[in-house]
Amino acid sequence: MEEGKKLTEEEFVLQAIKNLRKDPFRGIHSVYSGFNEAFRKYFGTNPVEATSRLAAEGKIETRPFKGGVMLFLPGEAPKRPSVDEVIQRILESKGRSLSEEEFVVEGIKKLRGEPYKGIHSVFSGFNDAFRKHFNQDPVEFTSKMASAGKIEIIPLKSGKGVMLYLPGEGPRGRKTEEALKKILG
């Protein structure tokens, strides 16, 4: 970089993605890579606004990720299935239409990736697929199923979406097991 010549926001973000990513990964985490703080220090402005604008302009791609977002060069982000593709995946091999409850259960089974037992209601595409297929609020419906013990819901600290699990498959912390031992003797 020439002395005194400041990079544009776009140049800075593109260089950050290229220089901060580690093989075999194609993107960088906005927080954990140090990008957000470096951007703030260099420009004195909010990196979220800049990266959101650059993504909207097609200059970069972003994907939501725990604790922030992943930043990618155009064409290098993992492909997301469309809502219709998510619906097809849930319905495949059933040969009949599914009730709302069956759709939720099949959604958890078919959308989870090994070795995970649950799905993120938003990032998996489940909520949008349920909403489109049944024209109903997936949050309200899955909450009723959880109250009836038909699925388990684990809220996320981020506040965006929840984790959905089949009964008995949700994570169990050590504290739960320790409390049970103390209670039951």
What per-residue confidence (pLDDT) applies to 24? 84
Q: Which residues of 79-89 are buried (b: 16+ CB within 10 A; e: fewer)?
A: eeeebeebbeb
Residue-wise pLDDT for 154-170, tens only, equals 987 766 789 999 999 98
What per-residue confidence (pLDDT) applies to 55? 94
User: In order of start, what are the domains of the chain with their CATH numbers?
Assistant: 9-72 (1.10.10), 83-174 (1.10.10)
Please give the chain's pLDDT, 185 residues, in tens. 555 789 999 999 999 999 999 888 899 999 999 999 999 999 999 999 999 999 999 999 998 777 788 999 999 988 878 899 999 999 987 667 899 999 999 999 999 877 889 998 988 899 999 999 999 999 999 999 999 999 999 987 766 789 999 999 988 766 766 777 778 87
Would strands 119-120 and 162-165 be described as parallel, antiparallel, or unpaired?
antiparallel
Are 126 and 119 in contact, with CB atoms under 8 Å apart? yes
Q: What is the pTM of this model?
A: 0.61
Residue type for 69, please?
Answer: V
Give the span between the Cα atoms of 119 and 165, in whole angstroms: 7
Beta-bridged to residue 68, according to DSSP, are 65
What per-residue confidence (pLDDT) applies to 105? 96
For residue 174, how many C-alpha atoms fall within 13 Å in the half-sphere facing its CB?
A: 0
What per-residue confidence (pLDDT) applies to 101? 96
Q: Which residues of 113-122 are buried (b: 16+ CB within 10 A; e: fewer)?
A: eeeebbbbbb
What per-residue confidence (pLDDT) applies to 176? 67
